[in-house]
Amino acid sequence: MDKITLNNAMHNTATILPNEFIDKYMLKADGEYVKIYLLILRLTSSNVPVHIDQLADTLELTRKDILRALNYWKKVGLLSYGDAEADAAVSTGAGEQGGATMMAGEGIPAVPEKNSRSIKDMEKAISGTDLEQTIYMAETYLGRPLSSSELNSFCYISDSLGFSSELLEYLIEYCITRGKKSVRYMETVAISWFQQKIDTVKKARAESSQYTQNVFPVMKAFGIASRNPGPAELDYIRKWNTLGFDTDIIIEACNRTLLATHQASFPYANRILADWKKNGVRNLSDIRSLDQQFHSSAQTEPEKQTRQTTGRNTANSFHNFQQRDYDYDALESRLLEKNRR
pLDDT of residue 338: 58
Q: How would residue 206 be classed by pLDDT, with cut points 50, 70 and 90? A: confident
CB-based contact 275:287 (threshold 8 Å): no
Distance of CA 270 to the CA centre of its chain: 13
pLDDT of residue 313: 54
Residues 66-78: pLDDT tens digits? 888 888 888 888 8
CB-based contact 52:63 (threshold 8 Å): yes
Regarding whether 227 and 268 lie in a shared domain, the answer is yes
Whether residue 322 has pLDDT greater than 80: no
Regarding whether 233 and 167 lie in a shared domain, the answer is no
Nearest alpha-carbon partner for 56 in 160, 147, 192, 178: 192
Q: What is the mean pLDDT of residues 113-119?
A: 85
In a domain, 211, yes or no: no
In a domain, 97, yes or no: no
Whether residue 103 has pLDDT greater than 50: no
Regarding whether 192 and 132 lie in a shared domain, the answer is yes
Whether residue 299 has pLDDT greater than 80: no
Regarding whether 115 and 65 lie in a shared domain, the answer is no
Total domains present in the chain? 3
Whether residue 96 has pLDDT greater than 50: no
pLDDT of residue 153: 92
In a domain, 337, yes or no: no
In a domain, 294, yes or no: yes
In a domain, 321, yes or no: no
pLDDT of residue 159: 93
Average model confidence (pLDDT) for the chain? 77
Regarding whether 227 and 192 lie in a shared domain, the answer is no
Regarding whether 72 and 113 lie in a shared domain, the answer is no
pLDDT of residue 167: 96
How many whole angstroms separate alpha carbon 101 and alpha carbon 104?
9
User: Last residue of a domain, which of 59, 88, 117?
Assistant: 88
How many whole angstroms separate alpha carbon 251 and alpha carbon 274?
14
Q: How would residue 130 be classed by pLDDT, with cut points 50, 70 and 90? A: very high
Q: What is the mean pLDDT of residues 1-25?
A: 67
User: Last residue of a domain, which of 55, 88, 121?
Assistant: 88
Residues 217-251: pLDDT tens digits? 998 999 887 677 777 788 888 889 888 888 899 99
CB-based contact 62:188 (threshold 8 Å): yes
pTM of the prediction? 0.48
In a domain, 318, yes or no: no
How many whole angstroms separate alpha carbon 255 and alpha carbon 247?
12
In a domain, 250, yes or no: yes
Strand-pair category, 79-81 with 101-102: unpaired
Whether residue 318 has pLDDT greater than 70: no
| Count of C-beta atoms within a 10 Å radius of residue 208 | 16
Regarding whether 110 and 84 lie in a shared domain, the answer is no
Cα torsion for 221, 222, 223, 228, to the nearest 10°? -100
Q: What is the mean pLDDT of residues 33-59?
A: 77
Most confident option among 169-183, 200-214, 320-334: 169-183
Nearest alpha-carbon partner for 111 in 122, 121, 99: 99
Is residue 6 within a helix (H) or strand (E), and if so which, with residue range?
Answer: strand 4-6
Identify the domain containing residue 263 by its residue range.
223-302
**Percentage of residues in the chain with pLDDT exceeding 70?**
73
Sort 69 into a burial class: Cβ within 10 Å, 0-12 / 13-18 / 19+.
buried
pLDDT of residue 91: 22
Q: Determine the angle formed by the axes of helices 266-278 and 231-242, rounding to 10 degrees.
A: 10
Regarding whether 50 and 130 lie in a shared domain, the answer is no
Strand partners, 82: none
pLDDT of residue 255: 94
pLDDT of residue 254: 94
User: Last residue of a domain, which of 88, 121, 155?
Assistant: 88
pLDDT of residue 144: 93
